[in-house]
Amino acid sequence: MSETRFKTLRDVPLEEYLAPGNPLCAGCGATPVLRMFLKALEGRAVFVNAAGCFTLLHVYPYTPFKSSWMYTAFASAPAGAQGIRDALDILIEKGKIQPEEDIKVVCFTGDGAAYDIGLQSTSGAIERGLDFYYLVYDNEAYSNTGFQKSGATPYAASTATTLPTKLQREGHTGSKKDLFEIWRSHKPPYVATIAPSHIVDMLRKIESASKYRGPKLFISFTPCPTGWYHDTSESIRISKLAVECGVWPLKEAIYGEVKHTYTPRVLKPVEEYLKTQGRYKHLFHPQRQEHVIKAIQENIYQYWRRVAETEKLDIIIPSV
């Protein structure tokens, strides 16, 4: 990462590939991420999409896109990417198309596809060493269908299928799958987490990943005003808080070697993050659920203690 063309926000390429006035929700955390990916790849890519919020980015006969797009199906966007990549390779090899016509292949899905229904397809694509990018906009639920719980939903979040009730006061009782580690266990050349609040970090990671042939995987933190219940103007601030509270660690793994790309000096209390969103409101009203908040906090501290030790990080972790 020493030689990067992205040092400050001023280095963000000016060329736009995603037009405004598209059908996405106001304040959607994924829009700036997609916009940056398009800039980094200079629009010479086909985005292979699975069912989700962004499926409605293109409603025939309109498109806000200055790049290619392929909608596949819920479970098999990575396989769709495989077909395009393989076809381009063999057609170039057989001399049927010119190498200049080659494009990059990006799988672009939500967490429902990435963590749940499409995990088998992703696993297959990584195992086959498919040369592609996978960008997940992780808004931690099936947002497009009305915010039902997914494999990415964190503990204690309220969703349409994990509503806090008298019998189940904390909301979602399960915990978020660790997709980063699931991917890393497949030993791809590149895995990273990114956040819309940290644009330079994101662009550097795309740049760094582009040096590798094979699966390059990105999980993006994605505030979702309609499911998380926060104001549309709050998305980037919430993203920043997620990083500063240690909820969303920014990291990358090159050939399995994990490195955190941003370390908060002092971890802020997770409460600050939780209180920004309606999906955690039940943890504070009508009564404070101290044990739940404490469990969430302890989980974060545990993670960072482990990281601080292995990566020798200079970070202040309060004791609970």
CA distance 268 to 88: 48
- Phi and psi (nearest 5°) for 271? -50, -40
Write down the least CB distance from residue 120 to other proteins, Å: 6
Q: Which is nearer to other proteins, 86 or 271 (CB)?
A: 86
CA distance 108 to 136: 6
Question: Partners of 107 in the beta sheet?
Answer: 48, 134
Q: Are strands 190-194 and 251-254 parallel, antiparallel or unpaired?
A: antiparallel
Write down the least CB distance from residue 112 to other proteins, Å: 16
CA distance 97 to 280: 53
Q: Coil, strand or helix: which one is 295?
A: helix
Write down the least CB distance from residue 216 to other proteins, Å: 19
CA distance 152 to 155: 9
Write down the least CB distance from residue 161 to other proteins, Å: 23
Q: Which is nearer to other proteins, 53 or 247 (CB)?
A: 53
| Six-digit token string for 170 | 């904390």
Q: Which is nearer to other proteins, 72 or 208 (CB)?
A: 72
Write down the least CB distance from residue 46 to other proteins, Å: 5
Residue ranges in contact with other proteins by CB under 8 A: 43-44, 46, 48-49, 55-56, 58-61, 63, 65-73, 75-76, 78-84, 86-91, 93-94, 96-97, 100-103, 120-121, 123-124, 127-128
CB 237 within 8 A of CB 276: yes
Element holding 190 (H helix, E strand): strand 190-194
Q: Which is nearer to other proteins, 55 or 226 (CB)?
A: 55
Write down the least CB distance from residue 95 to other proteins, Å: 10
Q: Which is nearer to other proteins, 79 or 292 (CB)?
A: 79
Measured in whole angstroms, the distance separating CA 25 from the mean position of its chain's CA atoms is 17
Distant-in-sequence, close-in-space partners of 178: CB < 8 Å, separation ≥ 6? none
Q: Which is nearer to other proteins, 132 or 248 (CB)?
A: 132
